[in-house]
Amino acid sequence: MSPDRQPLIDADAPWGKVRDALRGVQKSNRNAPAYSRWVNRPLGRIFAATAYKLGLSPNAVTAISAVFTFTGIGLLASAKPSVIVGVTIAVLLVLGYALDSSDGQVARLRGGGSLAGEWLDHVVDSVKTGSMHLAVAVMWFRNLGGWPAESTLVPLVFTLQATVWFFAIIATDLLMRNAGAKNVTLAAEEGKPSTLNSLLGIPADYGFLCLMMALLGWFDVWRWLYGLLMTVNVAILMIQCVRWFRRVSAVGR
């Protein structure tokens, strides 16, 4: 922790007060998908308060998150689809995602993060984004079950969609901030975010994909749902890219 940074709350404070202190510095919920808004961020607060009390750094939390996430992704690529495997993968990914939300919250508790920490978080996220669907492609190909081999293109297309989506979000945010056209807004500083927007964002929510892994025991049904989710996400990406391009173009003028 940098000596010129003041922690949000003393680490010796009761756990409940540490968790409550995070509410005032929670990221904006505007346009946040339902799972991220109502499940992942609150769960992340619990992990962040615990990590802070234990003296863990944000980078340590990022590393723990990566262990859960990539264990789940590795199991996804190597195991045979079943109810137990699906539930196990879902639990690992959910825990990894919640810890991914908590590393930034730990940084805020400590008085602020670092550029290196933000870089590490984004790099881990980028690996996760692509490898998740590549793992699905491996499982899909290893367990065709009468499906044509060409159907493996579904998770490969989803891989492309997910990587472009991740990069477009990061690039748009960076360009808008550098142009002074976007300010950081905390949840405590905004009005009540739209519930409808959060519900509409469910298909694009990584947390929803994590939960869907629990259905792997019904693999044929799961593949149809996964294919539908991929189609919806490709459509959302196309719409959002047009919006982002117009937004950045407007700032550029």
Q: Assign 89 a pLDDT band (cuts: 50, 70, 90).
A: very high
What whole-number distance in Å separates Cα of residue 87 and Cα of residue 211? 8
pLDDT at 3 over 60: no
Burial class (CB within 10 angstroms; exposed 0-12, middle 13-18, buried 19+) of 179: exposed
Residue 80 counted as domain residue: yes
Average per-residue pLDDT in the chain?
91
Higher pLDDT, 184 or 79: 79
Asked if 48 contacts 102 with a C-beta cutoff of 8 angstroms, the reply is yes
Overall number of domains in the chain: 1
Both tokens assigned to 78: 């190597």
pLDDT value at 68 more than 90? yes
- Measured over the CA atoms of residue 195, residue 199, residue 201 and residue 207, the dihedral's sign is positive
Whether residue 188 is predicted with pLDDT greater than 60 in this model: the reply is no
Q: Which domain holds residue 83?
A: 15-252
Give 99-132 pLDDT, tens digit per residue. Answer: 999 999 999 999 888 999 999 999 999 999 999 9
Assess if residue 126 is contained within a domain: yes
How confident is the model at residue 33, as a pLDDT?
87
The answer to whether residue 180 is domain-embedded is yes
pTM, 2 dp: 0.92
CA distance 224 to 212: 12
Tracing tokens 């607060």 back to the chain, one arrives at 45
In a domain, 3, yes or no: no
Q: What is the pLDDT of residues 159-184, one digit of tens each?
A: 999 999 999 999 999 998 888 876 65
What share of the chain has pLDDT > 90, as a percent? Answer: 75
- At 25, the pLDDT band (50, 70, 90 cuts) reads confident
The pLDDT of residue 187:
54
185 falls in which pLDDT band (50, 70, 90)?
A: low
Assigned token pair, 247: 């937004």
Each residue's pLDDT tens digit, 202-233: 999 999 999 999 999 999 999 999 999 999 99
Distance of CA 215 to the CA centre of its chain: 20
DSSP state of 53: H
Instruction: Give a yes or no: residue 4 inside a domain.
Output: no
- Grade residue 97 by pLDDT with cuts at 50, 70 and 90: very high
**What's the average model confidence in pLDDT over 23-41?**
82
CATH code (residue 205): 1.20.120.1760
